[in-house]
């Protein structure tokens, strides 16, 4: 799907005044260790509307996967979560995913209203059940015909015959496609896909991305967590760039890739092979020792004394936000 095609089909995501399917407000996640505190997600706000595909990108360890697990209550006991994440599911009362409790998440949210494609399929699959049995059980649990298993396999690019294998008999890419099929089986209104193209060759990467795009074009929503910037540009309506636990820029995909405002977003794009192919200089800070000010300042050529204060997300003219005291493009921030 080309950029022009995406713009033509993705208009539901940009209809002003529509209620967001998911509204994340001031989300924070900390892990308490014996001698330190890991601040994995901080002050994060994000809105996802029906029909929209939002890509969350950034270097490894910035908090992308923690965000996904926090929304579904899948974090360990040493996690402390603050803020709100309200899910507006059609035909049901809104539910705050952060405060509703594990019982409600397990009974009415996970695998029903919200599906998850996990980053590590090997740990998500029952080793003593074939793929067909796993899919059949999932379909039956949600009132759907078990005969749909073969169709789901084809949808994700998996040979239906491979459903009769056990997880240990599947390659990494085949297991990835199976967990994608399992996440899609209940037909959730929101799908969180955490690195869903891991282990796939390029044609299957494109196949999976187009599948996610089609779901959004049919009215569902997708949060795509990925390190693949080219993949994000291919299908996303908007891109949220995370750095050191926070979203530093969130803009429409075409605008961000053409004219990034945050120096980190610009450096990340310059690392692409079809651009400068230049690595981002320096290293990100440890999440156990985040600075009080701008976390990117030590790596940023635009830093000044003002960067000792943490920048807040500021609206920009195109409707996105950027958290930077010195955005690259004049007029990017008021």
Q: Residue by residue, what is the 3-state secondary structure of 71-139?
A: HCCCCCCCEEEEEEEEECCCCCCCEECCCCCHHHHHHHHECCCEEEECCCHHHHCCCCCCHHHHHHHHH
* Residue 80 dihedral angles phi and psi, to the nearest 5°: -115, 125
Contacts of residue 8, Cβ cutoff 8 Å, sequence gap at least 6? none
Select 1-113+188-288's CATH number: 3.40.50.1000, 3.40.50.300, 3.40.640.10, 3.30.1490.190: 3.40.50.300
pLDDT category, 238, cuts 50, 70, 90? very high
The answer, yes or no, to whether residue 122 has pLDDT greater than 50, is yes
pTM for this prediction: 0.92
CB 44 within 8 A of CB 246: yes
Over range 51-71, report the average pLDDT: 96
| pLDDT (average), residues 171-187 | 96
More confident residue, 2 or 260: 260
Domain with CATH 3.40.50.300 in the chain: 1-113+188-288
Categorize the per-residue pLDDT at 18 as very low, low, confident or very high, splitting at 50, 70 and 90.
Answer: low
- Across residues 210-225, what is the average pLDDT? 97
312: which residues sit within 8 A by CB, 6+ positions away? 323
Contact in structure between 57 and 226 (CB atoms under 8 Å): yes
Distance between first and last Cα of the chain? 34
The answer on pLDDT for 266 being more than 60 is yes
Q: Residue 72: count other Cβ atoms within 10 Å of its Cβ.
A: 18
């Amino acid at each position: 799907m080309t950029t022009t095609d995406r713009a033509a089909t993705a208009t539901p995501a940009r209809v002003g005044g529509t209620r967001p399917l998911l509204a994340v407000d001031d989300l924070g996640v900390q892990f308490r260790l014996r001698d330190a505190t890991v601040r994995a997600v901080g002050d994060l706000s994000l809105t996802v509307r029906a029909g929209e595909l939002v890509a969350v990108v950034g270097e490894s360890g910035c908090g992308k996967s923690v965000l996904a697990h926090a929304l579904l209550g899948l974090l360990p006991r040493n996690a402390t979560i603050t803020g709100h994440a309200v899910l507006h599911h059609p035909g049901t009362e809104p539910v705050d995913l952060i405060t509703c409790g594990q019982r409600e998440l397990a009974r009415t949210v996970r695998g029903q209203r919200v599906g998850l494609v996990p980053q590590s399929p090997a740990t998500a699959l029952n080793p003593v059940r074939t793929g067909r049995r796993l899919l059949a059980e999932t379909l039956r649990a949600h009132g759907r015909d078990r005969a749909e298993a073969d169709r789901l396999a084809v949808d994700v690019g998996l040979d239906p015959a491979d459903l009769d294998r056990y997880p240990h008999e599947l390659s990494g890419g085949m297991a990835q496609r199976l967990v994608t099929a399992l996440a899609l089986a209940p037909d959730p209104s929101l799908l969180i896909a955490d690195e869903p193209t891991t282990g796939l060759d390029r044609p299957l990467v494109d196949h999976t991305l187009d599948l996610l795009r089609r779901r959004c074009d049919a009215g569902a929503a997708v949060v795509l967590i990925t390190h693949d910037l080219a993949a994000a540009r291919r299908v996303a309506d908007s891109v949220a760039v995370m750095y050191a636990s926070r979203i530093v820029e969130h803009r429409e995909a075409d605008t961000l890739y053409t004219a990034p405002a945050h120096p980190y977003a610009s450096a990340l794009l310059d690392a692409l092979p079809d651009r400068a192919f230049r690595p981002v200089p320096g290293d990100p800070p440890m999440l156990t020792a985040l600075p009080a000010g701008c976390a990117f300042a030590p790596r940023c050529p635009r830093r000044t004394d003002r960067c000792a204060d943490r920048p807040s997300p500021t609206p920009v003219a195109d409707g996105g936000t950027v958290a930077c005291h010195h955005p690259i493009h004049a007029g990017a921030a008021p």
